[in-house]
Structure 1
C-alpha cells in the first residue's frame, strides 16, 4: 500500500507524483540504499543538530510532540520529522519549528529524486533523505526524529552516535506483523520479544537508550536489555509518575509518553534544558488526531466530536479507558489489513450507534465486518448528518488516513 499524498502546489505535486511511482523490490531489507542515497547528498545525517530518536508501536508520535514542545519551551529551534502526514505531505518535515514551505519542499524532493532515482529508493527513504538534507542546511539547536516502522531496518536508523542525544522506545504492541515478525535466523522467536528487538535496533554505542521498562512484558524487557548490552547503549528506564496538571495531549496513557520525553532529556548531555521548560512543554504539546476534540467547524458544527487515528489493540485500550462509562456514537473507517475488534472490543459498552465509512483511496473494511449493528454510510459528513440530535459525543476512529480527511473537511489543518 502506498502512502498517498497530494498538494495544492503544482510544483510539489509534480514531485509527489514521482514519489508515488516508487516501489521497493520484494525482500529488500537493510540500510544500504539509504546510505547510498545520503552519500550522494553529501551525508547530511552526519551534520545534524543533536537528535532525539524515538521508536515504538504506540505513542512515539506523541513522545515526539512532547519533546519538541519541551525543547521549544526552552527557546530552542527544533527540526522534526514524523509520519504519516494527515493532510499535507509538508507535515513530515518541520524546519526550526515551521512546516517546510511548498517551494522548498518541491526543490528538495526534486533534488533527492534526481540524484537517487536509479537506486530505487522507497517513498519513506526519499522523505527521510529530504528531511535530513534540510535539517543539515537550516540552523537549529535540536532534531526530533520519529522511526517510521520497526527500528533496526528503518530509514532513520542511519543516525550515528556523534549526532544522537538520546534514543527512546515508547509503548510496544503487535503491529506490522508481515514485516516485523518475518521469519529470520538469529532473532527472538517470541512475538513481543521480536517486536522489542526490532525497536531496540536504534540503540547506539554510548548513547542513552530510554525505555518504559516495566510497562513492557518481561520477554520484551529482556530483548531490549540484550540489544542494549550487545550494542553498548546506556540503558535507562523512564520513571512512572502522575501529573498535578493536565497534559497538552488528552488521555491518561499520555502520562507515560510525557514521562519518556522527560527521561530522554534528563539522561542526555548535548542539550541543556530546565525542569520548568519540560513542565511547560508537557502542558503546551499538541498532536492532531490523537484523542483530539475537534473545534466547531464546517464538518462538526457545534457537536462534540472526537478524532483518533489509532488502529491497534493498544490504541483501542487507550480509547476504552478515556471513554469509560460514557455512551457515544462511533464512526469507523479502518484499513482492510487491520483488526476491527482492536477498537470495537474495548468500546463495546460505549457504542450507541456504529457507522462504517470508507477510508478514501485505500482498501477498507465493509460495514458487515463490524457486526450486525453497523450501518454502511457513504462518508463522514453523511454519517454525522444521520446521527440523532441526542447530545451524545461522537468518536471518529480507525485510521490516520481517515483522520486526515476529517481534519481537511473541518478546516483544521495541522501546522
Structure 2
C-alpha cells in the first residue's frame, strides 16, 4: 500500500458513513486552518446531475487557451486520487498531496468527519496557498450541504441539467433535487443555468428570485447547436461560429454552449480565438473516449472500443443517442460491457438502448463491494429484453465481444469501472 493510500484509508475511517450531507463538521476545521475558503482565486461553482465535469473541462480549456492559470476540483477520480485536485493546470504531485492530507488530519485530531469533507478541506488549503487566476469547483453531490458549498462569494455559479440521481440523499423528484442543487446560488453572484425540465426550472427560478439573482437560461437567453459540422452559438451579444467540440456526442454541443455562456456572462478574459482553441483541445477522460492499447488489441480488426463513465438514466440517454449517430455514419453491431454500483437500476440504464444492442456482457466492479454482481446485472438485463451474460473480468468480456465481427464495443455504467479499465489499459488521466 502506498503512503497516499494509507493516509486515505485512515481518513475514510474517521466517520462511519461514506456520505452524511452536512457542513457542520468541516466548517470548524476550516476555521482552525485559517478559513482557506476566503483566500481562493475567483471561483466558478458548478452543480447539476450531469455535464458538470464536461462543462468544467470546456471552461478550463478556454481559460488555459487564453493563457490563464486554473485550479480545478473534480470527483470522483478514475485511477489516482491526485486527479481530483488540479493546481495551476497540473495534477497535484503526490508528495505535496500527502503533506497536506497529513497536515489536515493532524489538525482534525481524530474528530468524526467524512472522507469527502476532510479531503475537500485539504484541497481548499492547497488552492488558497497556490496562486492561480481561477478555481473551477465541482460539487460532489447536491449543492446546499455539499462540501464544496463553503464559498460565500463565487464569481459565478453554473447549474447543469438536473435529473433523477442519488434519490436516497437528494430527494425523489426532480423538484426536490433541484432545491438541493440551487443551494449553491449566492446573493451578488452571477448565474448561468443549463437546460432544465419544467419542474426543476421553477424551483431554480424561485431560489434565484429570493436571492436577487437574475440567471441567464440555456434555450432562452443563449443557444448553441451543430450546424454544418460547426458549433453555432448565439446570445444577446451576438453570434459565434466555432469549431465543433473535441468531446464526442450531440450532448457536447449543449455542454460547450453552457461553458461559452458562462465565459461571456461572467466576463472571463477569453476571446473567440481562445474559445476555438479550447474547443479543439478539450479533454475529459472516460466520456465517450476511444480506447487504444492492450485492451483494444483483444478485439478483432475493424472493431471499435469506447469508454464512458455515464451511470444514470440521463447519461445513458445521451450515450444511446451518440451510439445511434455513430451507427448512422458507420453501421456496426453494438456490444455493451457494463458494471454498475448497487444504487443504480440496470434495467433503467439500459432502457434508452432498446433496439440498438446485439449483446451485453456484465461485470462486477473490481474493488467495489457496493457494486452489483455481474449475475445480477445480466439477470435484470435479460428481464428487460436484452441478450446478456456475466463475465469474470474485463479481459474475458472483451474476448467474448471479439466474437462479434466488426463490433462497436462500449464499456459503460460506472465511473469506478471506467477507472479500473483505464488502469488496466495503462492509460491513466494526466
State the TM-score, normalized to the length of structure 1.
0.91
SS at match of 2:352: coil
Map 1:272-311 → 2, pairs under 5 A: 272-295=269-292, 297-301=293-297, 303-311=303-311
CA distance in 1, matches of 2:115, 2:290: 31
1:40 is displaced (CA, Å) by 1.4
Query: 1:352-403 deviations in whole A, cap 9, x for unaligned?
Result: 1110111112231422122162111001111101221511110111100000
Query: 1:192-228 deviations in whole A, cap 9, x for unaligned?
Result: 111111111100011011102xx31222111001111
Runs of at least 5 residues in structure 2 that lack an aligned partner in the other structure:
231-242
Q: 2:15 aligns with which of 23, 42, 55?
A: 23
SS at match of 1:63: helix
Name the structure 1 match of 2:397.
Answer: 383
CA distance in 1, matches of 2:199, 2:399: 47
1:70 aligns with 2:62: yes
In 2 relative to 1, CA 131–347 (structure 1 residues): closer, same or farther, beyond 3 Å? Answer: same
CA distance in 2, matches of 1:282, 1:254: 10
Name the structure 2 match of 1:188.
Answer: none
Name the structure 1 match of 2:225.
Answer: 242
SS at match of 1:32: coil
Map 1:171-182 → 2, pairs under 5 A: 171-181=161-171
Query: 1:51-89 deviations in whole A, cap 9, x for unaligned?
Result: 111000010011111111111011011000100000000
CA distance in 1, matches of 2:355, 2:17: 44
1:13 is displaced (CA, Å) by 2.0
CA distance in 2, matches of 1:33, 1:91: 24
CA distance in 2, matches of 1:391, 1:294: 15
CA distance in 2, matches of 1:44, 1:154: 17
In 2 relative to 1, CA 26–110 (structure 1 residues): closer, same or farther, beyond 3 Å? Answer: closer
CA distance in 2, matches of 1:90, 1:59: 21
Tell me, yes or no, if the aligned pair for 1:288 and 1:414 is still in contact at 8 Å: yes
Farther off after superposition, 361-370 or 378-387: 361-370
Name the structure 2 match of 1:364.
Answer: 372
CA distance in 1, matches of 2:270, 2:119: 29
CA distance in 1, matches of 2:397, 2:390: 9
Farther off after superposition, 342-351 or 126-135: 342-351
1:44 aligns with 2:36: yes
Name the structure 2 match of 1:3.
Answer: none
How many residues were matched structurally? 393
1:25 is displaced (CA, Å) by 6.0
Q: Stretches of 4+ moved more than 6 A in 1?
A: none
Tell me, yes or no, if the aligned pair for 1:11 and 1:103 is still in contact at 8 Å: no
Backbone CA RMSD of aligned residues: 1.7
Tell me, yes or no, if the aligned pair for 1:205 and 1:234 is still in contact at 8 Å: no
CA distance in 1, matches of 2:131, 2:257: 28
Tell me, yes or no, if the aligned pair for 2:306 and 2:411 is still in contact at 8 Å: yes
SS at match of 2:34: coil
CA distance in 2, matches of 1:342, 1:146: 26
1:282 is displaced (CA, Å) by 2.1
1:27 is displaced (CA, Å) by 9.7
In 2 relative to 1, CA 311–160 (structure 1 residues): closer, same or farther, beyond 3 Å? Answer: same
1:112 is displaced (CA, Å) by 1.1
CA distance in 2, matches of 1:39, 1:65: 31
1:117 is displaced (CA, Å) by 4.1
1:314 aligns with 2:308: no
1:396 aligns with 2:418: no
SS at match of 2:149: helix
Q: 2:207 aligns with which of 220, 227, 234?
A: 227
1:298 is displaced (CA, Å) by 1.5
CA distance in 2, matches of 1:199, 1:406: 31
